[in-house]
C-alpha cells in the first residue's frame, strides 16, 4: 500500500465529509498521441504485471503505449490536502497556549493535533475565533501531519470525460454543490468541471481522464 497526496477544493471537501463524493476525475497528463495520427482504438489494463494502476493505450493491435495512474491503484491511500491555517494563537486554555491547532477553511473545523489522541476543537471555542485574521495557506502547502482526511482507492479507470452519466455525476458530489445552472446532474457536472478546469482542459475538449473511486477511512 502506498500513500499519495491529492488536492480538493472547499466545496468538494465538504461533499466528502458529508459522504456525497466518492469519485474524482483528473486529466491524464501527457496522454499518448499516435505518430501516424491514428485515433485511439482502446485503453485497457496493461498486460504487464501491475497493481491496477497501469493501462495500455492502443492505436492498433501492436505496440501499445503504457500510462500509469499518479493516484495509485486499488488499495492505495490518498491523504487530502485542503486550505488550512495555524490556529495556535486563537486557542488558549487557562494555563497556556495549546500548540499545533489547525483550522480548516472548508467547514471551519479545528483540530488539536498535539493532543493524544488528536481532538476536534469544540464549537463553543471555535465560535469565538476571529476567522478573518487567520493566515490561510493554499492546499498545496498542507503537510502530511495536518491532513485530517484519508481516502482508500477502490477503483481506477481511464475514460473520456464525456463518458460520465448522471449516476456518476452524483458520485462526483454535484448534489452537494449549489450551482446557478439548473439541469440534470451530468449537465451540472459540466458546469462544475469548467469552473475548475475550463482554462486547461475544458469540457468541450473531452479530455482523457483518470476516474478514481474512493472511500473515506480512518487514518
- Check whether residue 102 and residue 206 sit in a common domain: no
Does residue 118 surpass a pLDDT of 70? yes
pLDDT of residue 205: 97
pLDDT of residue 172: 96
- Check whether residue 126 and residue 152 sit in a common domain: no
pLDDT of residue 128: 84
**58 within domain boundaries:** yes
At 125, the pLDDT band (50, 70, 90 cuts) reads confident
Q: Contact, 16 vs 213, CB < 8 A?
A: no
Q: Contact, 67 vs 158, CB < 8 A?
A: yes
Query: pTM of the full predicted structure?
Result: 0.89
pLDDT digits (tens, 9 = 90+) for 41-91: 999 999 887 788 999 999 987 888 999 999 999 999 999 999 999 888 776
CB count within 10 Å of CB 38 equals: 11
pLDDT, average across residues 97-119: 85
pLDDT digits (tens, 9 = 90+) for 126-146: 888 888 889 999 999 999 999
Domain that holds residue 90: 84-137
Q: Contact, 120 vs 109, CB < 8 A?
A: yes
Q: Which of 82-86, 113-117, 119-123, 176-180 has the highest mean pLDDT?
A: 82-86
Query: Rounded distance, CA 92 to CA 39, Å?
Result: 62
**207 within domain boundaries:** yes
Helix, strand and coil in the chain, % to nearest 5:
20, 30, 50
Query: Rounded distance, CA 104 to CA 136, Å?
Result: 9
- Check whether residue 165 and residue 211 sit in a common domain: yes
- Check whether residue 88 and residue 76 sit in a common domain: no
- Check whether residue 167 and residue 76 sit in a common domain: yes
pLDDT of residue 98: 47
- Check whether residue 72 and residue 168 sit in a common domain: yes
- Check whether residue 70 and residue 92 sit in a common domain: no
| Position with higher pLDDT, 210 vs 182 | 210
- Check whether residue 73 and residue 19 sit in a common domain: yes
Q: Kind and range of the H or E element at 142?
A: none
Q: Cell for 10? A: 472547499
**143 within domain boundaries:** no
pLDDT of residue 159: 97
Does residue 178 surpass a pLDDT of 70? no
Tally of structural domains, the chain: 2
Q: What are phi and psi of 133, to 5 degrees?
A: -100, 0
- Check whether residue 66 and residue 93 sit in a common domain: no
**42 within domain boundaries:** yes
Does residue 179 surpass a pLDDT of 70? no
pLDDT, average across residues 86-99: 60
Domain boundary residue, one of 137, 169, 202: 137
- Check whether residue 32 and residue 73 sit in a common domain: yes
- Check whether residue 7 and residue 74 sit in a common domain: yes
CATH number for the domain including 213?
Answer: 2.30.130.30
Write down the residue that cell numbers 440534470 correspond to. 184
Domain boundary residue, one of 137, 159, 178: 137
pLDDT of residue 91: 61
Q: Cell for 62? A: 501492436
pLDDT, average across residues 171-191: 78
**Strand order in 54-58's β-sheet?**
42-45, 54-58, 65-68
Query: Rounded distance, CA 127 to CA 141, Å?
Result: 26
SS3 132: helix
**53 within domain boundaries:** yes
pLDDT of residue 8: 97
Q: What are phi and psi of 92, to 5 degrees?
A: -130, 145
Does residue 214 surpass a pLDDT of 70? yes
Domain boundary residue, one of 92, 114, 137: 137
Q: Cell for 70? A: 499518479
**142 within domain boundaries:** no
pLDDT, average across residues 194-209: 95
- Check whether residue 49 and residue 153 sit in a common domain: yes
Q: Kind and range of the H or E element at 210?
A: strand 208-217
Q: Which of 1-10, 55-64, 119-128 has the highest mean pLDDT?
A: 1-10
Amino acid at each position: 500500500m502506498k500513500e499519495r497526496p491529492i488536492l480538493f477544493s472547499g466545496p468538494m471537501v465538504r461533499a466528502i465529509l458529508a459522504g456525497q463524493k466518492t469519485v474524482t476525475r483528473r486529466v491524464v497528463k501527457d496522454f499518448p498521441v499516435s505518430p501516424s495520427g491514428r485515433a485511439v482504438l482502446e485503453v485497457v489494463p496493461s498486460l504487464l504485471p501491475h497493481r491496477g494502476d497501469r493501462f495500455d493505450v492502443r492505436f492498433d493491435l501492436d505496440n501499445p503505449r503504457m500510462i500509469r495512474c499518479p493516484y495509485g491503484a486499488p488499495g492505495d491511500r490518498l491523504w487530502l490536502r485542503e486550505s488550512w491555517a495555524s490556529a495556535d494563537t486563537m486557542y488558549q486554555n487557562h494555563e497556556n497556549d495549546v500548540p499545533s491547532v489547525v483550522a480548516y477553511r472548508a467547514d471551519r473545523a479545528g483540530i488539536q493535533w498535539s493532543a493524544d489522541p488528536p481532538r476536534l476543537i469544540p464549537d463553543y471555542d471555535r465560535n469565538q475565533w476571529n476567522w478573518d485574521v487567520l493566515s490561510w495557506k493554499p492546499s498545496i502547502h498542507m503537510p502530511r501531519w495536518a491532513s485530517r482526511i484519508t481516502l482508500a482507492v477502490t477503483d481506477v479507470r481511464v475514460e473520456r470525460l464525456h463518458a460520465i452519466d448522471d449516476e456518476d455525476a452524483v458520485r462526483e458530489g454535484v448534489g452537494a454543490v449549489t450551482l446557478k445552472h439548473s439541469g440534470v446532474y451530468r449537465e451540472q457536472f459540466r458546469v462544475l468541471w469548467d469552473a475548475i478546469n475550463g482554462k486547461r482542459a475544458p469540457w468541450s475538449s473531452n479530455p482523457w481522464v483518470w476516474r478514481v473511486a474512493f472511500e473515506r477511512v480512518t487514518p
